[in-house]
Structures are given as C-alpha cells and as structure tokens.
C-alpha cells in the first residue's frame, strides 16, 4: 500500500462514504463508512460477495450516485456535492466507463462510437486519433463495423477505446470480463494492464472473477458495505481463497 | 448530434413508422382540405365539413405523434442514459430527440405533399358524390400551400416530441446500467395534475354547456368538453387501465393465463395506456360527434312535431278561400345578410329566414316566444332567434339595407330552422324564395280532395316532417362519413403502432414466460387477453368522454341520443384490429426458440 501511494498521490479518494437506500422502514446501508484512496497510475480491483456494496462503491466513486454522507474527491472537486452540470463536464473529461454489457450505441460504427464522447464534449474530432486508438486495441480492421457485427471481446475493446479517447483521469470498469469467454477476457485484461504500465492510467474495477482481480495491482475486499481486507499483487489462488473465506 | 439522430433513425425506423405515417396523413389531409376551401368560396356546407376534417386531422396527428414519441422514448431510456454516461448533457439529449423529430417531420411532409394530391381528388370526389360540390369542381393549386404543409409537418412533429424530450433529458446516467430498459414512474406529478385538471375542465365545460340556450354556443362548448375529458382520461389511463384490468380480469377467470394477464396489465402500464389512448380518442370523437348530430336532429324533429299544427303542406302559396282550407300559413324561404357589430368589428353573415304572415304563422307554429309577440310583427320589424327585444338589426334583403326592430325573440334555432322571421310586406316580391304553406283543414274536409286543389306537390304533415329529417340526416351522414373515416384511420395507425412497438419490447419477457413452462399458445393467449382488456378500457373511457358532449348538448336539444349502432361497430372494429395485431406480433415475437431470446438484451 505504501509503495502505491508514494507513486504520485491519489486520483480518487472516498472519505467516510455512507450510502443508504430505501425509506425509514426498509433502510439498507450499502456503504457503511468507506474510506479509500486510489493512487494515480494504479489498477485496483474491488471484490466481495453479492450485495457487499462493490457496485455502489464504484457508482459513488464515479459520481453516478450521490453518497448519503461523506466526500468523494476527484482532484480538488467533491463529487458528492457537485452540480449536474459539473458532473456532466466531469464525465466528458475526467472519467471513463467500461461495463459488463459493453453499452455501445448500436446504430453507430466502431469509429463513430469511439468518437462520440469527443463530439458530445464539443471538441474537435481527429479521426486519426480515433483510428490510432482502435488500432491500439487491435481493431484497426473493424473501424466501420457496427456493434452487432463484432464479437463480445471486440465490442468490449471498442468500449475501452471509447473510454480512453478523452484520456480520462480514472477509468471505471464494472465486470469488464463478465460477459466474455476466457480467451477474450485475457485479451481485455492484457489491454488494461498495458494501459496502466505504459500510460500510467488509473483503473478502478469491480469484478467477481479472481483471475481478473489478480491482473490488478491490488485487490480490495468488501463485505456488508465495509472494506475488510486488501491484497497487493496477489495470485489468482490467494484472491479465490480470500473471497471464499468472505462468502463462507 | 445530427449524425447520431440519422443513425438512430436508420437503426430504429420501425419505432418511427407510425409517427411518419401520421405526419404524412395529417399533411396530406390538411393540404387537400385547404386547397378545396380556398377554391370553394360559395359552397358553405363543403367548407364546414372540411373545416371539421381539418381540425380533427391536425388534432389527431399531434396527439398520435406525441403519444408515439412518449412511448418510443420510454423504450430508449437505456440508450439515452448511456449518452448521459459518456458525457452527454441534458440539452444534448433534447437536441438529439428534437432533431429526430425534425427528420421525421421532414420525411412525413415530403411523403405528405404528393399524398395530398391523391387525397385531394378523393376528397373532391367524395364531396361531389355527397352533393356538397358541383361535378365540375376542381381545386386550384396554390404555391403557398407547400409552406403551410412543411410548417405543419415539422410543427406537429416538434410539438409532439417537446414534452417527451424534456422528460427524457432528466434520465439519470446510472439507468444505463440497469438490467431492464424499463422507464421510470409513468404517473409523474405533472401527469396527475394535467389529467385531473383536464377532467375538471371537461366536466365544467359540460355543465356550462347544458345551461347555454343557443346551439351555436352549446355545440363548440360540448365538443370542447369532450376533447378535454378525453385528453384528461388518457393522461390518467395508466391508473385506470390496471383498475379495469382487475375488474375485467376477474371475469377472465382464475386460470394461469388470466393470472399472468392480470399481472402484466399491472406491470406494463405505459405500454397499455399507449394502446388505449388512440382508441379512447377515436371513440370519443366518433360517438361524441355522431351523438351530437343525432341529438340535434332529434331535437329539431321534436320541435317540428311538437310545434307545427297543420294537416297538409303544399309547395306554394294558397289562394284565398280555397274550399276545405281553414287556415294556411304561407312561408317564403330566403337568405338574408345580417351585419352584427361586435366590439367594433362588423361582421356580415348569411342566415336562413322566412317571410311570413304573422297571424297565420302563429296559428301553424305553436312555438312559444321567449319575449315579445307576433302581433307586433308588422312594418319595419323582425323576429329573431336569440336577439334582444327592442334592439335593431342591420339586414340586407332584396337589394336594400334595412334596420328593423326586434319585436319577438324566438327560441334557439336547431338544425335548419329559421333564425329570422320577417313580415311578408317587408320583403320585395322578387327577393322571395320558394314558398310552402302549412294548411289546416276545415272539420270534415276530405284531405285527398283538398290536396288536389293545392299547389303540388302536397305532403301530409308527417311526410313533410320525415322529409326535413332526412334532408338534415343526409348532411350529417356526409359529415360523419368524412370525419369518421379520418379518425378511424388515425386510430388504426396509432393502435397498430403501439401494439407493434410493445411486442418488440416483450420478446424477452415472452421467452422467459416460455422457459418457465408456458406453451407458445398460452403466451399468445395471454397477450390477446391483455389487449382485449386494454381495448375494453379504451372503449369505455372514450364512451365516457363522448357522454360529456351528449350531456352538454342535451340542454339545448331537449333530448339525448346515444348512437349505439356506431358504438358497437367501432367496438367490433377495435377488437378485430387490436386482437389481430396482438396475435400477429406475439406470434412473430415467439417464433425463435425461447432460450435464444432470454439471454439477449438488445
């Protein structure tokens, strides 16, 4: 942990974040005072049994959900209190998303999908950059294909290219390999790894899969809305054992 | 943003077909009606019919487009949330939808302009057939109509998407990550308020209309009451459909299909109200308009049978001292121009009038006056329907301008009865129109013998009343044919569109039902049962809205006629169309094996 923090400070930090759902009678506490910093240029995996609050943690860290209390700091801004307009700005420049279900716009080609965040942000779209980034994820020959003409692994790589085109401060990934076969999953994990190693990309990833988690720099374990454990550069075996212990 | 609109359009064109067709139809009908109106200066009845068609058409087009848009946007919530997720602002979402609507409006207009020429020849032929236009009639082409059509097409599409796009722009980015694309709450606070407000406005207008004694005031009031109530009920239909589903669902039995259908009705609220809404509006318009016409002619019929005293009606003046004739009221029909001054605006209109002999007229017509007396009706005087006693009116008759004093106030004129009575000596003889005489026989005179000595043709009073009924009815029937056909066409587009869109959305749901053990036929049966309940709801609410018009008009007509024949015909048609579409779409949605569908999400 200390090694990670010394690198370059934190990209995102959660301070005593509480997130509750439901009204008085049926109140559920999905996050129960979580405090964690994600260091710049590192890849952190978040694991935990179903209902442990790992998706909520990701959503709060990415400004998709407002915490009931606590702070979420991205740079010098607090996402917990940011306005809708600021959050939109943030999603345009500082945050990228990759999901289990790819979430590509089905009517647009791979190229157009990747260029979309730039268009939404109103910046000048350089097709050269778009092609370069798609070539970078190994899809230089699939530029004009629509999502349905691509395999799951290819679609996920388009989604990664789309998230990376704005050079975000943090890439949030929610089960990025959840819908992929093992070969495609390996390709995607390798891609994420090289982004961290070569471009010092910060990645926060929620996953169920010990193999995916083991590709990360560190793994954080959640149970009942609290961080209960943390491993640095674990093996697949270690992750699986720790997870099994939590679920028992 | 526009690229994305075009791409979405290409990808999801099925969602837009209904709206495009609606815009096309709206543009075509409005364009053709306007061209005919522009050329048909002298044919008042044709203009009246087209005016009604124009209004109904523009209203339905806007209604169907907006409900289709609301529905498709609800279905695309997940896509829209995705755009928000990758940095789209609320304004961009709105612009995306508005430019989709622009595309749709332009496309609909481009199809609608040539279609308008086809509608033009059909409308002209229909109006000629019904006798409202001469056979030689041909509408002239005007260049300005293109701008009107373009404005209308794009305007209707933009207006239709406005409310829905505001709602869509509030979609939260997180919704992109939800499993189902199901939209947020259907009944928003603003929808509740709008619905309740419209219902209140409808009921108030209805009550006001029953108190109005003039048909010219009561007809628009009660039609507006109906439209407000229909819109209000369709806004509230997400609450009402499940309610009726529970009632009628109980009748459908406690079987598995009945249970699932009932649950689906509770669940698919937006889908069901989207299907019920066009039906509701159709029934309200058809039954409301047909009932208004029927009620008015029934009222006019009552006025004649109750008030006219006589035995024979002859087509001409009766010579004095004709044997067998006790009294005869000779009445000359004519059209006069009346100029009214209303807050500085002078307006001249044609009105039907009769030139009469007051004493004889009083014997033949026992219609009680509201004020004044027939005895004063001589010299420069007039009896007017709904005028003010003692005031003067400016009329133009037989080439001269006159300012007679109102000495008698007639009760409001129903269909075709005269608005003004003039003493005969006031009207120069050349201006007198065709005469007819209502003849009362001396006691013991032989009607057949007397009839032979009178100007032919001679009718008995009953025959004469029947004849004036049927003249009025054929006008009404013509109007109804034009309007009904139109409304039905729109409703069919709206309903089929909603059912087709809904079934596409339900592929996965159907597949899951089959994986849980339902047979394909049971799934189709459930969908059919649901659509039947939705149809019943649409019909019932439409009928209720129509009743607002009928109750509103009953005050002035003194009677009320509910056109059951038209209602059952509409009901039958609705069940057939909705049922057939539902079976067809659910069959095609269940054609693939369930397992291949249960997994797919897009």
Contact B1 A103 (CB under 8 A): no
Res A2: pLDDT? 40
The DSSP code sequence of chain A is: -HHHHHHH-EEEEEEEEEEEES-STT-EEEEEEEEEEEETT-EEEEE-STTSSHHHHHHHHTTSS--SEEEEEETTEETTT--HHHHHHHHHHTEEEEETT----TTS-HHHHHHHHHHHHTPPP-HHHHHHHHHHTT-TT-TT--GGGS-HHHHHHHHHHHHHTT--SEEEEESTTTTS-HHHHHHHHHHHHHHHHHH--EEEEE-S-HHHHHTSSEEEEEETTEEEEEEES--HHHHHHHHHHHH-
Distance CA B438, CA B379 (A): 23
Which residue numbers of A have CB closer than 8 Å to B's CBs? 59, 64-65, 84-85, 88, 91-93, 97, 99, 101, 103, 105-108, 112, 116-117, 119-121, 148, 162-163, 166, 174
In chain B, % of residues over pLDDT 70:
92
Rg (CA), chain B: 29
Q: Which residues pair with B336 in a beta bridge?
A: B351
Across the interface, whether the CB atoms of B88 and A112 are under 8 A apart is answered no
Task: Give, for all 248 residues of chain A, the pLDDT tens digit.
Answer: 444 444 458 889 999 999 988 777 778 888 998 999 999 999 999 999 888 888 899 999 988 888 999 999 988 889 888 888 888 888 888 899 898 887 888 888 899 889 888 888 888 888 888 999 899 888 889 889 988 889 888 998 999 999 988 889 999 999 888 888 888 889 989 999 999 999 899 999 999 899 999 999 999 999 999 999 999 999 999 999 998 888 87
Distance in angstroms (rounded) separating the CA atoms of residues B226 and B217: 15
Tokens of B179: 């499993």
Query: Are A174 and B177 in contact (CB < 8 Å)?
Result: yes
Question: Which pLDDT belongs to residue B417?
Answer: 67
Return the CATH number at A122.
Answer: 3.40.50.300
A149 domain residue, yes or no: yes
pLDDT at res. A8:
56
Q: How far apart are CA B586 and CA B302, in angstroms?
A: 52
Q: Which residues have CB under 8 Å from B59's CB, separation 6+?
A: B227
Q: Hey, which residues does B348 pair with through a beta bridge? A: B339
Domain for residue A72, yes or no? no
Q: Calculate how close chain B gets to A88, using CA atoms only, in Å.
A: 5
- C-beta of residue B437 within 8 angstroms of C-beta of residue B331: yes
Q: How many CB atoms lie within 10 A of CB B386?
A: 16
Examine residue A75 and state whether it is found in any structural domain, yes or no: no
Question: What is this model's ipTM?
Answer: 0.82
Specify the pLDDT at position A36. 92
Provide the phi-psi class of B39: left if phi over 0, else alpha when psi is between -120 and 50, else beta: alpha
Per-residue pLDDT averaged across B231-242, rounded? Answer: 86
Instruction: Write phi, then psi, for B435 (nearest 5 degrees).
Output: -105, 150
Give which of A63, A66, A91, A98 to mutate to test B binding, by max B Cβ within 10 Å: A91
User: Whose CA is closest to B101, among B24, B169, B156, B139?
Assistant: B156
Average of per-residue pLDDT values in chain B: 81
Q: Is residue A205 part of a domain?
A: yes
* Residues near B457 by beta carbon (within 8 Å), at least 6 away in sequence: B315
CA-wise closest residue to B457 among B316, B360, B572, B343: B316
pLDDT interval class at B414 (50, 70, 90): low
Q: In which band, very low, low, confident or very high, does the pLDDT at B342 lie, cut at 50, 70 and 90? A: low
- A102, closest residue in chain B (CA to CA): B177
Dump pLDDT digits (tens) for B264-308: 777 777 788 888 888 888 888 888 888 888 888 888 788 777 777
**Which of chain A's residues have a Cβ under 8 Å away from the Cβ of B8?**
107
Per the document, the length of chain B is 602
Which DSSP state fits B527?
H
Angle at A142 between CA A140 and CA A145, to 5 degrees: 150
CA-based nearest distance B85→chain A, Å? 7
Whether B370 contacts B411, CB under 8 Å: yes
Order of strands, edge to edge, in the sheet holding A43-47? A95-99, A170-174, A202-206, A43-47, A218-223, A226-232
| Predicted pLDDT of residue B601 | 44
Residue A236 lies in a domain: yes
Q: Residue A220 sits in which domain range?
A: 40-50+85-247
Torsion sign, CA atoms A167, A171, A174, A175 = positive
Residue A182 lies in a domain: yes
| Span B74-110, pLDDT tens digits | 777 878 888 888 888 888 888 888 888 898 899 999 9
Question: What's the mean pLDDT in B408-423?
Answer: 75
Question: Phi and psi at residue A130, in whole multiples of 5°?
Answer: -60, -45
Interatomic CA distance for residues A181 and A190, integer angstroms: 14
Return the ∠ at Cα B336 (arms to B333 and B340), rounded to 5°: 145
pLDDT at A221: 93
**B63: Cβ contacts below 8 Å, ≥ 6 apart:** B231, B277, B278, B281, B494
pLDDT for the residue A228: 92
Half-sphere exposure of B36 (CA within 13 A, CB side): 34
Q: Which residues of A touch B12 (CB under 8 A)?
A: 107
Reduced to 3 states (helix: H, G, I; strand: E, B; else coil), residue B396 is: strand
Residue B160 vs residues A143, B26, B592: alpha-carbon distances, Å: 36, 13, 35
Q: Is residue A243 part of a domain?
A: yes
> Would you say residue A79 lies in a domain?
no
Q: How confident is the model at residue B179 (pLDDT cuts 50, 70, 90)?
A: low
Number of H helices, E strands in chain B: 17, 11
**What would the DSSP string read from start to end of B61-95?**
HHHHHHHHHHHHHHHTHHHHHHHHHTT--HHHHHH
Contact B399, B337 (CB under 8 A): no
Verify whether the Cβ–Cβ distance B86 to A59 is below 8 Å.
no
Is the distance from CB of B353 to CB of B337 less than 8 angstroms?
no
Q: In what order do the strands lie in the sheet with A77-78?
A: A28-39, A10-21, A69-74, A77-78
Contacts of B89 in chain A (CB under 8 A): 85, 88, 120
Q: Is residue B386 pLDDT above 80, yes or no?
A: no
Contact A92 B3 (CB under 8 A): no
pLDDT at A241: 92
- Give every CB contact of residue A217 below 8 A, 6+ residues apart in sequence: A4, A42, A43, A44, A196, A232, A233
d(CA B88, CA B105): 24
DSSP state of B184: S
Alpha carbons B599 and B602: distance in angstroms, whole number: 10
Chain B residues in contact with A97 (beta carbon < 8 A): 85-86
pLDDT digits (tens, 9 = 90+) for B119-164: 888 888 888 887 778 878 888 888 888 999 999 999 988 988 887 8
In percent, the amount of chain B with pLDDT more than 90 equals 8
Q: Which residue has the higher pLDDT, A190 or B512?
A: A190
Structural domains in chain A (count)? 1
**What pLDDT, on a 0 to 100 scale, did the predictor assign at position B343?**
67
Region B365-388: what's the mean pLDDT? 78
The secondary element (H helix, E strand) that includes residue B584 is helix B564-589
């Amino acid at each position: 942990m200390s090694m990670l923090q010394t690198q370059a400070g934190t990209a995102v930090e959660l301070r005593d974040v509480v997130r509750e759902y439901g009204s008085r009678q049926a109140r559920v506490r999905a996050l129960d005072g979580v405090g964690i910093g994600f260091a710049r240029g590192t890849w952190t995996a978040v694991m935990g049994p179903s209902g442990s609050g790992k998706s909520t943690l990701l959503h709060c860290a990415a400004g998709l959900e407002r915490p009931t209390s606590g702070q979420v700091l991205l740079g010098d801004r607090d996402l917990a209190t940011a306005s809708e307009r600021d959050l939109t700005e943030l999603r345009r420049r500082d945050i990228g998303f990759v999901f289990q279900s790819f979430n590509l716009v089905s009517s647009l080609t791979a190229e157009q999908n990747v260029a979309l965040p730039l268009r939404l942000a109103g910046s000048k779209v350089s097709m050269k950059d778009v092609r370069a980034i798609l070539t970078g994820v190994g899809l230089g020959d699939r530029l004009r294909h629509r999502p349905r003409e691509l395999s799951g692994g290819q679609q996920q790589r388009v989604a990664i290219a789309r998230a990376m085109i704005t050079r975000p401060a943090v890439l949030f990934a929610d089960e990025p390999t959840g819908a992929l076969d093992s070969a495609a999953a390996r390709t995607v994990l390798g891609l994420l790894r090289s982004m961290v190693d070569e471009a010092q990309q910060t990645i926060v990833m929620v996953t169920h899969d010990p193999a995916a988690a083991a590709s990360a720099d560190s793994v954080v374990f959640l149970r009942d809305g609290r961080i209960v454990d943390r491993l640095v550069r674990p093996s697949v075996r270690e992750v699986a054992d720790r997870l099994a212990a939590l679920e028992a | 943003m526009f690229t994305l609109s075009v791409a979405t359009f290409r990808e999801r064109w099925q969602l837009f077909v209904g709206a495009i067709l609606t815009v096309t139809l709206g543009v075509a009908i409005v364009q053709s009606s306007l061209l005919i109106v522009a050329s048909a200066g002298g044919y008042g009845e044709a203009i009246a019919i087209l005016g009604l068609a124009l209004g109904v058409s523009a209203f339905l087009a806007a209604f169907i487009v907006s409900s289709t848009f609301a529905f498709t946007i609800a279905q695309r919530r997940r896509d829209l949330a995705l755009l928000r997720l990758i940095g789209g602002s609320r304004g961009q979402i709105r612009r995306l939808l508005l430019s989709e609507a622009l595309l749709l409006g332009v496309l609909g207009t481009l199809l609608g302009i040539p279609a308008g020429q086809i509608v033009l020849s059909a409308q002209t032929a229909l109006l000629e057939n019904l006798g409202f236009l001469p056979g030689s009639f041909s509408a002239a082409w005007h260049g300005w109509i293109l701008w009107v059509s373009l404005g209308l097409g794009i305007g209707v599409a933009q207006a239709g998407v406005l409310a829905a796009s505001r709602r869509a722009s509030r979609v939260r980015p997180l919704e992109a990550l939800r499993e189902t694309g199901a939209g947020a709450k259907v009944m928003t606070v603003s929808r509740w308020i709008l619905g309740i407000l419209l219902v209140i406005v409808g009921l108030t207008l209805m009550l006001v209309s029953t108190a109005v004694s003039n048909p010219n005031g009561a007809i628009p009031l009660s039609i507006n009451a109906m439209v407000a109530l229909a819109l209000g009920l369709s806004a509230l239909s997400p609450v009402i459909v499940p309610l009726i589903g529970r009632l009628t669902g109980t009748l459908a039995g406690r079987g598995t299909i009945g249970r699932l259908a009932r649950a689906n009705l509770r669940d698919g609220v937006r889908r069901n109200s989207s299907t019920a809404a066009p039906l509701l509006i159709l029934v309200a318009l058809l039954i409301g308009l047909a009932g208004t016409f029927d009620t008015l002619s029934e009222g006019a019929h009552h006025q004649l049978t109750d008030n006219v005293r006589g035995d024979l009606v002859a087509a001409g003046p009766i010579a004095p001292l004709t044997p067998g004739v006790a009294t005869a009221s000779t009445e000359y029909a004519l059209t006069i121009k009346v100029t009214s001054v209303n807050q500085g605006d002078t307006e001249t209109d044609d009105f039907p009038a009769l030139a009469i002999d007051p004493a004889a007229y009083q014997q033949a017509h026992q219609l009680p006056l509201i004020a004044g007396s027939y005895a004063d009706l001589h010299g420069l005087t007039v009896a007017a329907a709904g005028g003010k006693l003692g005031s003067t009116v400016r009329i133009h008759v037989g080439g001269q301008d006159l300012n007679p004093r109102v000495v008698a106030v007639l009760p409001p004129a129903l269909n075709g009865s005269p608005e003004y009575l003039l003493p005969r000596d006031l009207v120069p003889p050349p201006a007198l129109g065709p005469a007819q005489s209502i003849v009362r026989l001396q006691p013991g005179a032989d009607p057949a013998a007397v009839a032979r000595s009178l100007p032919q043709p001679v009718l008995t009073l009953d025959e004469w009343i029947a004849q004036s009924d049927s003249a009025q009815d054929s006008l009404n029937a013509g109007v109804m044919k034009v309007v009904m056909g139109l409304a039905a066409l729109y409703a069919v587009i709206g309903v089929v569109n909603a059912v087709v869109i809904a079934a596409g959305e339900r592929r996965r749901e159907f597949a899951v039902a089959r994986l849980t053990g339902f047979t394909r036929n049971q799934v189709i049966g459930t969908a059919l049962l649901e659509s039947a309940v939705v149809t019943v709801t649409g019909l019932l609410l439409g009928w209720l809205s129509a009743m607002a018009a009928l109750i509103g008009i009953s005050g002035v007509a003194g009677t009320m006629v509910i056109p059951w024949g038209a209602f059952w015909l509409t009901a039958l048609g609705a069940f057939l169309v909705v049922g057939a579409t539902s079976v067809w779409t659910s069959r095609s949605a269940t054609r693939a094996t369930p397992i291949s569908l249960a997994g797919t999400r897009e």
